[in-house]
Chains A and B, each alone.
Chain A
Amino acid sequence: MAIFGARRVLWRSFSTISSHPLRVCIVGSGPAGFYTAEKILKTHQGSQVDIIDRLPTPYGLVRSGVAPDHPETKNVINQFSRVAQNGRCSFMGNVALGYSISLVELRELYHVVVLAYGAESDRVVGIPGEDLKGVHSAREFVWWYNGHPDGRNLDPDLKNTDTAVILGQGNVALDVARILLRPTSELAITDIASHALTALEQSSIRKVYLVGRRGPVQAACTAKELREVLGIKDLYIHIKETDLKITPADEEEMKNSRIHRRIYELLSKAATAGPSQPSSGQRELHFVFFRQPDRFLESYDKKGYVSGVHLEKTTLKGIGSGKQIAIGTGQFENLSCGIVLKSIGYKSVPVDDLPFDNQKGVVPNVKGRVLSDNSGDPTSIENGLYVCGWLKRGPTGIIATNLYCAEETVASLSEDLELGVLASTTRLPKLGRDGLLQILDNRNVRVVPFSAWERIDKEEKRLGSLRNKPREKLTSWEELLKVAGSE
């Protein structure tokens, strides 16, 4: 939202204190990157902001994470598009940090570098059988149905089984369940990737299990998504009534959290609302609570393929400050299935010369200022290097969370500029955009500017209009770069 009624002139003239325009490079063009760019452009009127992304297409998870049947959630793209069209902002797609250009080089070219490249990997469960065929991460599955060029070859087998098990009960898990269970006629008019639509139309999956380690009070999903999945037409919902029993500790948790209260209410209602048995041929969604995966089971007939999950029953234990964790009880059971989707969290990927906390999967920082090591010593700061979004906070939150995250990071940046912390660099001119483009040109990197993304956008919409879809995504690197490069 580029609102220029700015009443706060406090930081506005700052970049004129140094006689060189502030040059900023933001790595990552998802919500964290764009909200950061917007704030910097507004707060520092002379600044030049470049946003690089390894994909030719911008918007990060708004494009590749938000489910195809949630188009309103993607409306924020309009706001981001206006930021990219600002004369002082330049989007550069197909530029990969660590491959096309190094972090050290970027810090040399720009006064300020903000890393906002999110989390492109997964938490692993860490149990035997995790590499059996048919065990996928939900992230990859989401990339696949959202047409991410790196998700195209996932080729999940939806025809060998009628049962899918999803580990996790957050919103991503619910998205995956919904995409597997929704009538494909409803998906056909969304921007779902056509290879995924075809596979779903041929899918034999009729039962989906959403498995959580803890109980309904601790479920990580939110009301809108839960309401939606419970409301799917002609879907049999199963929730064990005994799982709905709550303890005083649960009550305490709900007392402090509106979200959890409302989720519990929705689940309780759903448990008793419908029929106690599915009708013949009806699709089924089962919420399984208090079960943690112990190992994945291998099929006897098809070596190397998953045939089920060995689950351990859990019980909850309080660990202080109102939090309860799941601990195993030593009782086990098997859940048969032909495909497993692990939806237990994303994980960030480090790059060279970047301090990284492997345990938490984030860049060590204080309010967005990158620290030189994991010791937590707030005095060892990497000047001019900032972080925002999941790379800063871990992979939680919604799109709007990045709004506040960006506010915090940019406030740190502005404070550093004001206090002269960055004076040693801001005193010097930096090559910025021109320098970066020169290096990339020397390396034969085909930069995709915003205008080229607009060509891709236009083509996708055109192809979509032929099939009554808002867009038909181009899902391969070749197609994307070809359309980007065409006149």
Chain B
Amino acid sequence: MSCREVDIGVCQEQDLDKGIADNASDLRSVGFHFQRIISELFPRSFSLFFNVFGQVELLPETRAFFQGAIFQKHHDFSTLGSNNTSRGGDEQKETISVTFVSKDGEEIPIQVPIGTSMLEAAHQNDMELEGACEGSLACSTCHVIVMDMEHYNKLEEPSDEENDMLDLAFGLTETSRLGCQIIARPELDGIRLAIPAATRNFAVDGYVAKPH
């Protein structure tokens, strides 16, 4: 599979979403070089996302990580960031079981490392969950439906910003959340998330004109 056809982005860690970048172009050239190497060695097993507009600031240790990561055995980048600094180079991560139910009803059980968002997890497992704004609370395309109330109630209340985006989600339900805002924690083990079937809900007659 050629480099172009592999889905490549940069892991969307919460830590990455702060600040305005400097050295964005440095980062990008490192990133692209890095992406090409990784994709040739490990074609489909993980994804990296870069915000190419340079609105992302990487912590120095994160940047060093990118430069050094080629040598690291475990390539699950969701372990980036402060959640796991205490582990240092420890390669055993805690994970939880998550089952995604695709638009066609297919059940896909996966293991999601603690600290990873459901959007990242879906992308790392090649699942069809859109993430147009790449986890920055500026769209509703990663909308998922939590399939049981027990797990839904364990989630923290959505922020105003998340609720604003949920307003616009297609096929919104009582237990809908944005996948980029659900972060894996031990209490969520066993959570089941349905990816809404969009076409079923599209352009229903009598629908109030949608904003833009």
Residues of A within 8 A of B (CB): 1-5, 7-8, 70-79, 81-82, 85-87, 170-172, 189, 220-224, 227, 257-260, 262, 321, 393, 395-401, 403-405, 407-408, 411, 461, 465, 470-471
B97 at the interface (CB under 8 A from A): no
A73 and B211 form a contact (CB under 8 A): no
Question: What are 20 contact pairs spanning A and B, CB under 8 A?
Answer: A1-B123, A73-B133, A75-B51, A76-B132, A77-B53, A82-B4, A171-B211, A258-B172, A259-B211, A262-B163, A398-B168, A398-B211, A398-B212, A400-B139, A400-B141, A400-B168, A404-B199, A407-B199, A408-B203, A461-B25
Kindly state whether residue B147 has any CB partner on chain A within 8 Å.
Answer: no
Contacts of A4 in B (CB 8 A): 1, 5-7, 44, 126
Nearest CB to that of A367 among chain B residues?
B203
Closest-by-CB residue of A relative to B20 is A189
State the B residues within 8 Å of A (CB). 1-2, 4-9, 20, 25, 44, 49-55, 102, 104, 106, 123, 125-128, 130-134, 136-141, 160-161, 163-165, 167-168, 170, 172, 198-199, 201-203, 206, 208-212
Question: Which B residue's beta carbon lies closest to that of A256?
Answer: B208
Please, which residue of chain A has its CB at the minimum distance from the CB of B56? A75
A73 pairs with B139, CB closer than 8 A: yes
A11 to chain B, nearest CB (A): 13
In the complex, how many angstroms separate the beta carbon of A468 from the nearest chain B beta carbon?
A: 9
A389 to chain B, nearest CB (A): 11
Q: Is the CB of B132 within 8 A of A170?
A: no
Cα–Cα distance between A386 and B123 once the two chains are bound (Å): 30
Residue numbers in B under 8 Å from A396 (CB-CB): 209-212
Across-interface contacts of A72 in B (CB, < 8 A): 55, 133-134, 136-138
Instruction: Using known A-B contacts A73-B139, A75-B51, determine if residue A1 contacts B106 with beta carbons closer than 8 Å.
Output: no
Closest chain B CB from A393 CB (angstroms): 7
Chain A nearest CB, measured from B48 CB (Å): 12
Contacts of A403 in B (CB 8 A): 130, 132, 141, 198
Asked whether, in the complex, the Cβ of B160 is within 8 Å of the Cβ of A227, the reply is yes
Interchain CB contact under 8 A, B139 and A399: yes
CB atoms of A85 and B4 under 8 A apart? yes
Question: Is there an interface contact between B54 and A470, defined as CB atoms closer than 8 Å?
Answer: yes
For B126, what are the chain A residues with a Cβ–Cβ distance below 8 Å? 3-5
The 8 closest A-B pairs by CB, nearest first: A5-B126, A72-B136, A72-B138, A223-B164, A76-B132, A224-B164, A404-B202, A404-B198
A72 to B128, CA, bound (A): 21
**A residues within 8 A CB of B134?**
72, 75, 78
Q: Nearest B residue to A174 by beta-carbon distance?
A: B211
A77 to B53, CA, bound (A): 9
Let me know if B211 and A7 touch, CB within 8 A: no
CB distance from A443 to the nearest CB of B (A): 31
Majority secondary structure, B binding face: loop
Q: Which residues on A sit within 8 Å (CB–CB) of B168? A: 222, 259, 398, 400
- Least distance between A391 CB and chain B CB atoms (Å): 14
Q: Which of A72, A73, A399, A461 is most buried by chain B, counting CB atoms within 10 A of its CB?
A: A72
Task: Tell me the minimal C-beta distance from B132 to chain A in angstroms.
Answer: 4
Inter-chain pairs besides A75-B136, A401-B212, 20 sampled, C-beta below 8 Å: A1-B123, A2-B5, A4-B7, A4-B44, A7-B104, A7-B106, A71-B55, A72-B136, A75-B132, A77-B52, A170-B212, A227-B160, A258-B172, A400-B130, A400-B141, A401-B210, A407-B199, A408-B202, A408-B203, A471-B53
User: A8, A86, A221, A258: which contacts B104 (Cβ < 8 A)?
Assistant: A8
* A400–B141 CA distance with the chains assembled, in angstroms: 6
Nearest CB of B to A1, in Å: 5
**What distance in Å separates the Cβ of A453 from its nearest Cβ neighbour in chain B?**
13
Give chain B nearest CB distance to A171 CB in angstroms. 5
A408: chain B residues at CB < 8 Å are 199, 202-203
In the docked arrangement, what's the CA distance between A365 and B165, Å? 30
Q: Report the bound CA distance from A407 to B167 in whole Å.
A: 21
Contact B7 A2 (CB under 8 A): yes
Interface core residue of A172, A399, A465 (most chain B CB under 10 Å): A399
B132 touches A222 (CB 8 A): no
Q: Which of B54, B163, B212 contacts A397, CB < 8 Å?
A: B212
Interchain CA distance A129-B2 in the complex, whole Å: 60
B210 — nearest CB in chain A belongs to which residue?
A: A397
Determine how close the nearest CB of chain B comes to the CB of A249; give it in whole angstroms: 14
In the bound complex, what is the Cα–Cα distance between A75 and B160 (angstroms)? 21
Residues of B near A189 (CB, < 8 A) are 20
Chain B residues with CB under 8 A of A2: 5, 7
- The answer on a CB contact under 8 Å between A78 and B20 is no
On whether the beta carbons of A227 and B20 are closer than 8 Å, the reply is no
B139 contacts which chain A residues (CB < 8 A)? 73, 76, 398-400
Cβ-defined contact, A221 with B164, below 8 A? no
* Interface pair B212/A395, CB less than 8 Å apart: yes
Report the bound CA distance from A220 to B168 in whole Å. Answer: 12
Residues of chain A lying within 8 A (CB to CB) of residue B4: 82, 85-87
Among A1, A221, A461, A465, the residue within 8 A (CB) of B211 is A221
CB of B140 to closest CB in A, whole Å = 6
**A96 CA / B149 CA spacing, docked (Å):** 52
Q: Which chain B positions have C-beta within 8 A of A405?
A: 202-203
Question: How far, in whole Å, are A403 and B164 apart by their CA atoms in the complex?
Answer: 19
Residues of A within 8 A of B172 (CB): 258
Chain B hits for A227, CB < 8 A: 160, 164
User: In the complex, A72 Cα to B172 Cα: how many Å?
Assistant: 22
Minimum Cβ distance to chain B for residue A394 (Å):
8
In angstroms, Cα B25 to Cα A72, docked, is 18
Chain B residues with CB under 8 Å of A5's CB are 44, 125-128
The one of B104, B198, B210 that contacts A398, using a Cβ cutoff of 8 Å: B210
Residues of A within 8 A of B211 (CB): 170-171, 220-222, 259, 396-398
Q: Is the CB of B167 within 8 A of A259?
A: yes
B-chain residues with CB within 8 Å of residue A260 when the two chains form the complex: 208
Residues of B within 8 A of A77 (CB): 52-53
Q: Is the pair A407, B133 in contact by a Cβ cutoff of 8 Å?
A: no
Cα A396 to Cα B168 with chains together (Å): 13
From A1, A8, A221, give the contact of B130 (CB < 8 A): A1
Residues on B with C-beta less than 8 A from A393 are: 203
Closest B residue by C-beta to A218: B208
- A417 shortest CB reach to chain B, Å: 18
With a cutoff of 8 Å between Cβ atoms, the chain A residues found around residue B130 in the complex are 1, 400, 403
